[in-house]
Structure 1
Amino acid sequence: MGASATDSKVDFGVPAVLHKWPSLANQRRPDRESYHVSEGTLDQCITAFMEKPPATRHLYEIHTAPQPPLVTEILSPEHIAELSRLREFL
C-alpha cells in the first residue's frame, strides 16, 4: 500500500462532538458560542447530524481530531455531508 492510499483513509471511530449554534429565526447567532449536543465517535456524530432536518443542519458542526487531508478539526455542515457520502463507499 502506498502512502497516498493510507493518507486518504478516515478513521470514523475517533472521538467527536456534535455542536449546535444558538439561532434566531433559523440563523446562527454570531454573538454566542456553539454548545455541545452529543458526543461519541465521528461515525455516531455524522449519523446524528444527518438525522437533523435539512433546514436546520447549517446550525451544526462537528469537532474532532484532524485527519489530513479529509478531516479538519471543525467540520462544517457541507463537509459533514461529504463525509457521510464518503462513509457509504467505505
Structure 2
Amino acid sequence: MTDQSHQVDFQAAAHLYKWPSLNNSRREDRAPYMVVNGTLDQCIRDFMGKPEKTRHLYEIRTKSQPPLVPDVLSPEHVIELSRLREFL
C-alpha cells in the first residue's frame, strides 16, 4: 500500500528563478528573475543542467506539497527531489 501523502506531483506548475549575481554571489539587493515557467519536473531538469558551481544562484517556486515539497525549493531540496524522481 502506498502513502498518498508522501507522493510528489512532478507535473505541478513551477518556476525556476535565478538570482542576479556578482562574483558568483547572490545580489540580495536585487530580485530574482524567472528563467523557466513549466512543471516541477521540467524545472528540476533545467536546474540539474546548470553548472554545479552556479546552482546556488537558482531556486524553484511551486505550490507546497507537504511534507516533501516547500513552496520555495533551495538547491539542496532540488537535488534531493531529483534523486527521488530518478528513484521512482
Equivalent of residue 53 in structure 1, options 51, 54, 61:
51
Structure 1 gap segments, 5+ residues each: none
Structure 2 gap segments, 5+ residues each: none
Give the match for residue 40 of structure 2: 42
State TM-score, norm by structure 2. 0.97
Give the match for residue 65 of structure 2: 67
Runs of 4+ more than 2 Å apart: none
State TM-score, norm by structure 1. 0.95
CA offsets per residue over residues 41-76 of structure 1, 9 Å max, x none? 000000000000000000000000000000000000
What percentage of aligned pairs have identical amino acids?
64
CA offsets per residue over residues 11-49 of structure 1, 9 Å max, x none? 000000000000000000010101000111000000000
